Amino acid sequence: MEQEPWETAGRRFIDQHVRYDRYGVVDLEQTARNAHIEVRRELLSHQQATLAPFSKGWIVRIDEMVTEKQEPFIFGHELGHIALATAGVPFFGLSAQQFQLAEAVCDFFSAQMLSSLYGD
């Protein structure tokens, strides 16, 4: 399968899964439901969030210390990893360099998702 550019895949993922409320703010609950993500609030030791695939979708664990204000960006970042995986970029076995790039892409994805540019 030929790989499409991640920008295109990311944009399509946003269109398909991300939901905004009438004020143009990302509706995290609906978006999670749409993308088959179960969000769990847990005490994580060294990370703000973790992502794990499971049979029906994905589990995003968000650290209990994450504030309400930080949560959308952190959730969006994890959603970026899911979008990359959906676009065929492997989730496991990345080199350190690929991982760093993926992290930057996911931050960018999150910023794009949160910008009202993509809202209705």
For Zn ion, the closer of residues 18 and 75 by Cβ is 75
Of the ranges 14-22, 31-39, 97-105, 112-120, which one interacts with Zn ion (CB under 5 A)?
97-105
Structure tokens at 27: 């509706």
At which residue do the structure tokens 């794990």 appear? 52
- Shortest distance, CB of residue 120 to Zn ion, whole angstroms? 27
CB 81 within 8 A of CB 91: yes
Which residues touch 70 (CB under 8 Å, ≥6 apart)? 48
Of the ranges 18-26, 35-43, 64-72, 95-103, which one interacts with Zn ion (CB under 5 A)?
95-103
Q: Which residues here bind Zn ion, judged by CB under 5 A?
A: 103, 106
